[in-house]
Structure 1
Amino acid sequence: RVKDVDFQYGQITVRDGKGGKDRVTTLPEPLREPLLRHLERIKALHELDVRQGFGQVYLPFALERKYPNASRHWGWQYVFPAPKRSVDPRTRKVRRHHLSENVIQKAVSAAIQRSGIAKPGSCHTFRHSFATHLLEAGYDIRTVQELLGHKDVTTTMIYTHVL
């Protein structure tokens, strides 16, 4: 969600990751400007939705009952929204959902192919590279563990095989 991207501190909060936990990770400097431009386009789309009487997103837990107008608030909008609005089967309200993981994975694979990289890659490849580069740069294994959201440091130790 938009509120989970912190440009001031260069952080992204990942919600409900593996194990249902939240974690904070870095927002790489080279991504800040492109992401800001992307969010400007998404904000224009959201404002159009609101003007047309829509602009809602699904809210977690009981937040929708507690804050009935929050579902239209900019901070709760998805960073990668679906191109079309759809009917929420639970509430029958018309909302704009987020892109599916599958769409993101296909876009990443296509971008890797277009870049001319011969090896196949995926979102997980970027995660693996992120961890490996941090360790190569001398980051402490516990810091890398926290950034990746691993419960057990032995999971993070897998990335040390290339060192």
Structure 2
Amino acid sequence: REMGDAEIEVFLTHLAVEGRVAASTQNQALNAIVFLYKQVLEIDLGDFSQFERARAPRKLPVVLTREEVTRVLASMDWPFSLMATLMYGAGLRLMECLRLRVKDIDFAQRQLIVRDGKGGKDRITVLPNASILWLQDHLVGVRAQHEQDLRSGHGSVWLPGALAGKYRNAPREWGWQWIFPAAELSTDPRGGHTRRHHIHETLLQRAMKRAVKKAGITKPATPHSLRHSFATHLLESGSDIRTVQELLGHNDVST
């Protein structure tokens, strides 16, 4: 009870400076102290926000060489190899790739439209040439599956916002279907409809992990490493940093 704001600040600063604890450990100690004083001792604490904050370590992104990317892609099963090719060739985030719809592909202009990306922004990025024939062949199978779903009374895809109500036929139209649909139908918890969602992100994450191991690469590469590699290789090839920034959908060049 004799300890006050000053002593708490000294203790928390000690954890960060002398103890060199992780930011999460310091936050845990802070929460425990606040709980002790408010809930147990019933003492109102004043302002003790001037203590030294423990800094979370900044990890460098994992970047694969061009040769390593080739080995990883060659070690992946279908359709994950196509998904990884798009992520690397277009600089896509994991969920941006999974949420691609048929209408987001512009084969004529060699472009992909990323809708509602990070920060709710849309952007246009490149459609990698290496993926075009594979993607066209893949969509033949996806369309056949969609038509089978329609014949069985399904084939309706989830639409964002109020689009489903505004365009009643849109959920069943080909252009709105996922490029990478799940293998099985499932019940949508948002409305109880039976429909085909896109492939779950954990499946691609596991496929990437297996491929990295199979390729004999010791770097802790994840699907997001393909996006970092895309940006790095463009810059190494002489691309303008502003162009790379726009393709990635970043507001700040430093990111």
Give the TM-score normalised by structure 1. Answer: 0.89
Distance 1:22 1:118 in 2: 35
Structure 1 window deviating more from structure 2 (130-139 vs 84-93): it is 84-93
Counterparts of 1:85 and 1:32 in 2: how far apart (Å)?
27
Deviation at 1:95, TM superposition (A): 0.8
Deviations along 1:87-127, one digit per CA (max 9) or x if unpaired, are 11222211111112222222222233334444342211111
Which residue does 1:148 correspond to in 2?
248
Aligned counterpart for 2:205 among listed residues 105, 111, 115: 105
Q: Percent identity?
A: 57
- Determine whether 1:76 maps to 2:184: no
Q: Specify the SS of the correspondent of 2:124.
A: strand
Match of 2:120 among 20, 29, 32: 20
Within 1, Cα distance between the matches of 2:209 and 2:220? 7
- Provide the rounded CA distance (Å) in 2 between the counterparts of 1:105 and 1:121: 10
Q: Which amino acid aligns with 1:88?
A: D
SS across alignment from 1:12? strand
Deviation at 1:146, TM superposition (A): 0.2
Give the 3 Å change call, closer, same or farther, for CA 154–118 of structure 1 in structure 2.
closer
Aligned to 2:136: 36
Aligned to 2:190: 90
Deviation digits for residues 66-100 of structure 1 (CA, Å, limit 9, x no counterpart):
11111011111101111111111222211111112
Q: Distance in 2 between matches of 1:14 and 1:94?
A: 26
Where does residue 126 of structure 1 map in the other structure? 226
Q: Which amino acid aligns with 1:131?
A: A
Deviates more, 1:141-150 or 1:34-43: 34-43
**Structure 1: distance between partners of 2:108 and 2:216:** 34
TM-score (norm 2): 0.58
Partner residue of 1:55?
155
SS at match of 2:113: strand
Cα distance, 1:128–1:118 mapped onto 2, change above 3 Å: same
Residues 24, 88 of structure 1: CA spacing in aligned structure 2 closer, same or farther, 3 A cutoff?
same
Larger radius of gyration: 2
- Which structure is higher in RCO with an 8 Å CA cutoff and minimum separation 6? 2
Counterparts in 2 of 1:19 and 1:112: CA distance versus 1, 3 Å: same
Aligned-partner Cα distance in 2 for 1:35–1:118? 30
Which of 107, 110, 118 is the aligned partner of 1:7?
107
Query: RMSD over aligned Cα, in angstroms?
Result: 1.3
